[in-house]
């Protein structure tokens, strides 16, 4: 695509350039990001790009579509056990791509109209959760801003790992924050320095779960 763009008239003094492309084989999509130009600016060139991409990638056919806006969300009280219940889980279960791909597929299949745009991120060190016998965790997702996602944010619920989980909007900030947290029955708070973001801190007591926004 970049070679094709380079041979076309420049737009605003420069040629469009695809900075990165990422394959989502599970939903049969390729996400491509332009460095400086918008979809609308290059729309007139896409017919020519279509033939080039079909030839170079050996695709039978495909369609260019405009990407949607993205929103970062935080899903809370996600079970660490892959069964969705119980307290038995292994650190190794959360140190490979399989579990994160599974979470992404689970949230999309269980919530029609919800699509994730990147790999889910678990908040907090896995080994600390294991040491403190945690049973749940918090997952950050980047999702396409669809009506279904907006509805989930309004209700505060999204279905994941066999039940409704709490969902909150994640808002980026420019300043790092010090987050005090305790997992499971741990009574000694731990301090984690995060580079960016609003973190919902889960402090688990014997009676209830308390989530505080910092």
Q: Locate the domains of the chain by residue range.
A: 2-57, 70-213
Q: What is the CA radius of gyration of the chain?
A: 21
For residue 28, give Cα distances in angstroms to 36, 42, 62, 66: 25, 22, 10, 15
pLDDT band per the 50, 70, 90 thresholds, residue 22: confident
Q: How many C-beta atoms lie closer than 10 Å to residue 68's C-beta?
A: 13
User: Closest Cα partner for 198 from 184, 177, 180?
Assistant: 177
Cα 91 from Cα 83, distance rounded (Å): 15
Q: Which segment, 18-32, 86-100, 151-165, is predicted with the most confidence on average?
A: 151-165
Three-class SS of residue 98? Answer: helix
Instruction: Tell whether the model's pLDDT for residue 10 goes beyond 50.
Output: yes
Q: How far apart are CA 180 and CA 167, in angstroms?
A: 20
What percentage of the chain reaches a pLDDT higher than 90?
A: 40
Which of 57, 118, 125, 72 lies closest to 94, judged by CA? 125
Q: Is the pLDDT of residue 175 over 70?
A: no
Query: Two tokens at 112?
Result: 């029609």
* Alpha-helix residue ranges (DSSP H) falling in 83-196: 97-110, 126-131, 147-155
DSSP 92: G
Output the pTM of the full model. Answer: 0.60
The C-alpha angle 149, 110, 84, rounded to 5 degrees, equals 115
Pairs from 127-130 (Cβ < 8 Å, separation ≥ 24): 127/91, 128/183, 128/190, 129/80, 129/183, 129/184, 130/89, 130/91
| The predicted structure's pLDDT at residue 172 | 63
What is the band of 194 on the pLDDT scale with cuts at 50, 70, 90? very low
pLDDT the model gives residue 173: 52
Higher pLDDT, 75 or 82: 75
> 104-162 pLDDT, tens per residue?
999 999 999 998 888 899 999 999 999 999 999 999 999 989 899 999 999 999 999 99
User: Which of 119-123's residues contact partners 24+ apart within 8 Å by CB, and which partners?
Assistant: 122/94, 123/74, 123/199
């Amino acid at each position: 695509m970049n070679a094709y763009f380079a041979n076309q008239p420049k737009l605003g003094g420069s040629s469009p350039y695809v900075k990165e492309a990422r394959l989502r084989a599970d939903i049969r999509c390729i996400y491509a990001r332009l460095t400086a130009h918008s979809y609308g600016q290059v729309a007139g060139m896409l017919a020519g790009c279509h033939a080039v991409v079909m030839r170079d990638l050996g695709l039978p056919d495909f369609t260019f579509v405009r990407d949607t806006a993205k929103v970062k969300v935080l899903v809370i009280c996600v079970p660490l056990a892959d069964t969705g219940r119980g307290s038995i889980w292994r650190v190794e279960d959360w140190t490979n791509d399989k579990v994160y791909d599974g979470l992404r597929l689970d949230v999309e299949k269980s919530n029609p109209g919800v699509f994730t745009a990147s790999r889910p991120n678990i908040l907090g060190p896995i080994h600390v959760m294991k040491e403190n016998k945690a049973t749940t965790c918090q997952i950050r997702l980047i999702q396409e801003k669809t009506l279904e996602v907006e509805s989930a944010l309004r209700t505060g619920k999204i279905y994941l790992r066999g039940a409704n989980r709490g969902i909150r909007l994640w808002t980026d900030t420019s300043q790092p924050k010090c987050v005090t947290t305790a997992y499971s029955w741990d009574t000694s708070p731990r301090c984690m320095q995060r580079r960016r973001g609003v973190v919902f801190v889960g402090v688990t007591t014997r009676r209830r779960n308390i989530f505080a926004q910092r």
